[in-house]
Structures are given as C-alpha cells and as structure tokens.
Structure 1
C-alpha cells in the first residue's frame, strides 16, 4: 500500500494529482505563514514595533542555516522522486541516509560560529540602534533550535517525494500551532518579552522534529534506512550538492537581500522603515501560500514522471501548474490592491509605519499575477535534475536583477525606488524564465 502512493504520481490524471499534492502543501504553507504572521502581530502588539524589526534582522542568519536542511532536502528529494519513478529503491534509501548525515554535520557546524560572531552579524544585518538588544536576545535562543528546523525541512521534502503530501502538511502545521500557543503563554501570560518569543519558536522546531522522526520510524514511510545508508557516498553527495545548491544559493541571496534592504531602509527612514519591510515580508510569506503550494505539489509529479520517461505527463504538469498558480496570483494581487490599508492596522498602530506600509506593499505585489511562470519554470529544472539552469533561473530574480536594482534605484527615487525594484525584477525574471522553459519543452519533452 505504501508503494502505491508514489506510483500514483505516474498514473492519476495530472489535474487531480496536482490538486491532491498542492492542497496539503498549500495548507501547510498557509499555517506556517499564519504562524509567522500572527507571531508578528503578537510581537508587535505585546512588545512593540521595534521587536518586529528585531526579528526581521535575525531571520536571514537563522534561516540561512536552516536553509541548508531545505537545500539538502530539495536536492535529495529530486533524486528520490526520480529513483522511485525508475524503480531504483536502493538509490532512494542511500540518498535519504546521506541527507540526514549531511544536514547534521553542516547545521551544527554553522551554529557554533553563528553564536560566536553574533555581535558582528546582528548589526551587519541591520540590527542597529534600538533594534540591537532585542535582536540579540532573540537570535541567541533561536539559533539553538535551528538544527532541529533544518532536519524538519529536509524531512518534509522527502515525505513529499514519497507522494505523501498529507503527512508533509501535518509536519508544517505542528510547529506553527505550537508556536502560537507558546507565544501566548510565554509573551502574554508570563511576560517574557523577546526571550518568550524566541523560546516559543525554538520549542516549536523541536515539536516538528519529533513528528518527522516518528513518521520515518513508522510504517507510513517507504524509506526504511539502516546504518549503511548513513555512510557518505560521493556521487550521491555531489548530486545532492548540485541540486540543493540551487535552493541554498537562493536562500543565501535572500539573506543578502535582507542585509541590504535593512541597511538601505535604515539609512533612508530609520527603524520605522525596517518595520515596514518586516510587515511586507510577512505578507509575502502569507499571501503567496497557494502559489507556493502549487509549486511544491508540482515538484514530485514532474520529477517522478521525468524519471519514468513519461514526458507527455511532465509537459501537462507544467501547463497545469502554471495555469492554476497564475489564477491564484491574480486573486492575491487584487486582494492586496484593495485591502493594503486595512492589513497594516493588524500589525501595529505606529503612525509612521501605518502611513508608509500600504503604498510600499502595493508596489511589492504589483507583478504577482505573472510570477507563477518564473516559480514553476525554475522548479521544473530542479525537479528533473538539471542543476545549472535551475541555479541560474532561481537566482535571476533575487540575485542578478533585484540586488542591482535596490542599489541603483534608491539613489534616484529614495524609498520608492526600493519598493519599485520588486515588480521590475519580477517582470524581467519571468521573461527570462519563459524563454528558457519554452526552449526546454520544445527540445526535450517533444
């Protein structure tokens, strides 16, 4: 019965299969995003706007280390999906064992210097002035839980590669719900401030790890590994590294973007401008959940069928995923355009932040209806194991286009130039991705 779940990826109708894969992924991302959103609301209302900015400063460092788990998970899961599609289970098992070993070695190894150099890292990422002290409290505690988060992110992608999106969804829901409950206890009831917010986050990572650990020990998983699977296998590590490097590079660029954005905005408008960016960042995580859910649901379908050399189904999965996610992107765009002014009041009553956030948010979401093509196109190359085009397309928006724009446009247009960089980068990267995806479809899938 367990084997049938992954086999379904090559048999069920694409539309039905994409919905079955995308809905749990979307719900999981929604709950995780709601957790981040509500956590920000709690912190903003129970501690203050400075606390929101402090958490935003810490996120790039902690998320980069945790992203190692996501990168290893995504790279390895592409191998696992294709191996299951090709009925090569020994390779799938060996890959999973190597993923666990690599995640532990890298994340634990980075937490130590991360703690040692925190007095340098926090100001470098915009934690200056009144932001520094609360950011330092939050950073110190959260970093202890980051290895657990990395293992959860790695395990979640493997669960999805097995064709079991419902369990992957639960793995995302558990820490989100746990964090909100602990936020209420630690911040509101026990009045622990930033330390309370940090301990709630760290404990939620541990809850997630406990669930993922249970899943792979239970009969729900096809991947029953033994001690031999943990031994490093260089060809597998190389493939994990090349494909996972796409995800890691993306997160590294995201962290660099946070560093630049926080510093540029602090210089232009002080702590309030950093808080504006923090709120918009949370809305990006929250509002785009259905589009990201379709992207996550698309990955195992494309990888499995490509491994089975069923190219007609791969092509259909691309078209269907782009259609569904574009329609969802349009709805998100309309919601932000009409309700941006109402949204900001949920986070804070700070007069400057309330005034500055809505127009900035409208700029940031202006190109939302077209981003589906860029996301699905980059994900396709990662799913089928083509690391170089996946790497280049993934970084085209955030790295090659967006970073130069936020360095140039603010010189001439101030803060408006910062916010206008978002839709311009979205438009240009979508055009580039569309060209390469169409060329790949004509060359390979036909």
Structure 2
C-alpha cells in the first residue's frame, strides 16, 4: 500500500476524508442497488410478480454465502487499517493473504452444499407451488457464480482500506451496469425468462471478479507472496473475531428473510412476498448515501484509533452522524410523499398481459405503498444505530460490535415478527420494522455515548490502548 495515501487518514480534515471515502462508496452502492432495482423492474414487468417472489426466496442463501466475503473483508480490513495506522505494513500483507484463503475455501464449501440441498433449502425459504420452479431455476444458475461474488465482496473492502475508494467504486459499478445490459439481452431480446435473469446475475459476478483480480495484479501496492496465503492461527483468530460481527449480522438478515417469507405466506400469500421483495430493494437503494457514509467512516475511525488520535475518532463519529442524518431525513420525506409512484415503477399495466398477471399487478400496487411507509417510518434516527455499531467494529471491539449489530434484526425484529402477526396479520409484519428500529437506536445510542466518554478520552494512555488491542503490534 502507498504509505502516503494511508497516512492521509490520520492527517486530512475529517470532513474532507469522509467525503473522499463516502462519495465513491455511495456511488458504488447506488449503482449496485440500481442494478438490483432495475433487475427487479425487468423481472416484474417482463416475467411477472411471481418472479419477484422467486428471487426473494432465493436471496437468503446467495446473500449469506456472498456475505462470507463481506464479513471477512470488513473484519479483516479493520485489522488491516489499524495495522497500517500503527505502521505495521508486514502484518497488513499477512491479513490480506489470510482473508483471501478464508473467503475462497468457506464460500466454495457452502456453494457446493447449497447445490446438493437445493430442493430442501428452497422449500425452507418459503417457496410454494405457485413459484417454486421459477425459484429453483434462478437459484441453480446464480449459485454457480457465488464464490466469485464472495471474493469480490472481500476484495472491495480491502481496496477501500488501502486508501483507494475510487477503485472500490468501479468494482461495484462495472458489474451493476453489465447486469442491467445482460438483463435486457437475456430476458427481453432472447426471451430466456427466469434463466435469463439468473445468467445476467452470473455475468455480473464474473465482471466484478475480473476487475478486482486485475486491480490487485496491476494497481495494488499490497504485493502478496505465496506465504501470505498460508493461514496463521493468530491472524485468522483476529480476522474471525471481527468478521463474525458482520457475518452474524448478515446471517441474521438471512434468517430474518426466511422468517419473513414464511410469516407472509402463512398470514398472507405469495404476492405479499413480492411486496417485501420490492421493499427490500428499496431499503438498499434508498439508503445508499447513509450506507456510503457508514463505509467511509470505518477506515477513518480504525486508522485514527490505531494511531491513538482519539480526538479525530470522536470528530469522525459526530461528522458521520450529521452527514448521514441529513440524507436519512431526505429519504424519509421522499418515501412518505411518493410511495405509490415508487411502487408503480416495478409493475406493468400493459394490455398485452394476461388477466391474471394484471390482477396480481393491481394487488401489488394496492398493498405495497402502505407497507413501504411503515418500514421507513423512523428512517431519520437509524443513523445512530449504524454508526454506533460500526464504531465498535472499527476499533476492534468485537463483542460490543456484534451485540449492537444484532439489536434490530436479532433482538427486536425477529421476536416482533413472531408476536405481532398472529394478532395483526400481515400488518403486524410491517409495524414490526419501525418498532425494532426505534428500540435498536435507543440501545445503541446509550452504549455509543458511554463508550466515547471512556475510549476517546484524550488522557487515555497508550498502554491502555495496547492492552485493549494486543494484535495491532504483532
């Protein structure tokens, strides 16, 4: 890595650094989420709403395997950033090599198991007779390329930790644009239906993987040797301790999606799964600037904590909450004012459609706007929960990071989904979201405030930090 580039994380003004890190991340997330949105629009308009239901039930397994790379990428890059902040370049190389090995082996094993048990998994995820075959068609093809997705998710976070966020942005933009183009070719031009949507996704994984491989061969200054890929217990333990935070969070989201699908089928029908499919895409798309700020915050906080510049860490927290709060408020206003217009983008009212598809589309347009408003009801306050959980991950405190990351989905939303729907039906599903967001924000805000007063005291000794983070100076 360029030491001058990484050193900027400890010297440049926080606001400029956050913009420098967050803008490319936000653009990359925007394009990636636009890809998901357009993919859903194409599938909904050209195949039908049940195709959206099919993709929605496939997401948990592909999401979880891809999240292996995301988890190892984020967790390992936290270790990498702090090593760079402490001037330990050799450790950074060992961490990156071990990240690569862990991601490849784990995702490959899970992909094979996913193909072996495909029928059991699809049924478990909530598919019913109306769209099971559509789901299986999409699932098989996408799983062939899931190892590439995991490697991309890992590599993207390492690129950002290396201080080159623009390349991380390109790594997300290229496959997203390619997927949109391939969707049009395979679904519309070649009329391949659900298989076309799946092959378009497969191609997008391959494009992303090719770009990231090229980056580390031609542009990266993290020059790995074969020895870097050999797993070292101490490095693996340090990576896994923080990776488990992200993996547990992503795994909980996968479990949550499975539960949502089954609850919606039990108290509603397959169209309610399509409603959630649209909402889940909107959650990724609408919150792209908030997620971008959060991703930009991680390397800044991690580097400065490793360099013992606690005032800059405190400033990065306050600035990140301020910026992301502004975007969250804007998103909230748009969702509340224009829910019907947003939902209408995903469905077609063309006279060429058969009567059954038209009826399903009308029902989707009727059900989704209200559900969308409920899910986004407390969006302005969730930034505290996101930044708070990320702070503990950035400074290497795995247990608090894990627990706070799980507050919304694991501790509050899943129990609420088991309690409210028996009394309120499908409405209970949508009402659960703002309640869980509010409770998670209150809890995270309390612990973040307490930790900042304790951890970021300018009088804290260097020895105390070294004791708290013993792996940073190996």
Q: TM-score, structure 1 length as denominator?
A: 0.99
Query: Alpha-carbon deviations, 1:239-289, whole Å to 9, x = none?
Result: 111100011111111111111101111122211111100000110010000
Q: Which residue of 1 aligns with 2:430?
A: 419
Helix, strand or coil for the counterpart of 1:347? coil
1:298 aligns with 2:309: no
Helix, strand or coil for the counterpart of 1:130? coil
1:369 aligns with 2:380: yes
Q: Which residue of 1 aligns with 2:122?
A: 122
Distance 2:129 2:413 in 1: 27
Q: Which residue of 1 aligns with 2:251?
A: 252
Query: Alpha-carbon deviations, 1:155-209, whole Å to 9, x = none?
Result: 0000010111100000000110010011111000000111110011011101100
| Alignment gaps of 5+ in structure 2 | 349-360, 458-474
Paired residue for 2:366, among 355, 364, 372? 355
Query: Alpha-carbon deviations, 1:425-446, whole Å to 9, x = none?
Result: 0000000000110111101101
Does the CA-based 8 Å contact 1:57-1:126 persist in structure 2? Answer: yes
> Structure 1 residue 348: deviation in Å?
1.3
Give runs of aligned pairs for residues 22-421 of structure 1, distance below 5 A: 22-218=22-218, 220-349=219-348, 350-421=361-432
Distance 1:298 1:131 in 2: 41
Does the CA-based 8 Å contact 1:3-1:222 persist in structure 2? Answer: no
Distance 1:131 1:60 in 2: 16
> Structure 1 residue 222: deviation in Å?
2.3
Does the CA-based 8 Å contact 2:146-2:205 persist in structure 1? Answer: yes
> Structure 1 residue 304: deviation in Å?
0.4
Does the CA-based 8 Å contact 2:268-2:425 persist in structure 1? Answer: no
Does the CA-based 8 Å contact 1:60-1:255 persist in structure 2? Answer: yes
Distance 2:270 2:412 in 1: 26
Query: Alpha-carbon deviations, 1:105-132, whole Å to 9, x = none?
Result: 1010111110011101001111112110
Q: Give the number of aligned pairs.
A: 445
Does the CA-based 8 Å contact 1:24-1:165 persist in structure 2? Answer: yes
Query: Alpha-carbon deviations, 1:372-399, whole Å to 9, x = none?
Result: 0000000011111100000000001110
Q: Which residue of 1 aligns with 2:462?
A: none
> Structure 1 residue 143: deviation in Å?
0.3
> Structure 1 residue 354: deviation in Å?
0.5
Distance 1:84 1:164 in 2: 14
Q: TM-score, structure 2 length as denominator?
A: 0.93
Does the CA-based 8 Å contact 2:74-2:243 persist in structure 1? Answer: yes
Query: Alpha-carbon deviations, 1:13-47, whole Å to 9, x = none?
Result: 00111011100000000000000000000000011
Does the CA-based 8 Å contact 2:22-2:295 persist in structure 1? Answer: yes
1:17 aligns with 2:28: no
Helix, strand or coil for the counterpart of 1:129? coil
Helix, strand or coil for the counterpart of 2:126? coil
Runs of 4+ off more than 3 Å:
none
> Structure 1 residue 64: deviation in Å?
0.3
Q: Which residue of 2 aligns with 1:429?
A: 440
Distance 1:91 1:2 in 2: 15
Does the CA-based 8 Å contact 1:246-1:394 persist in structure 2? Answer: yes
> Structure 1 residue 315: deviation in Å?
0.3
> Structure 1 residue 412: deviation in Å?
1.3
Query: Alpha-carbon deviations, 1:73-93, whole Å to 9, x = none?
Result: 111100110011111000000
> Structure 1 residue 2: deviation in Å?
2.8
Distance 1:416 1:47 in 2: 27
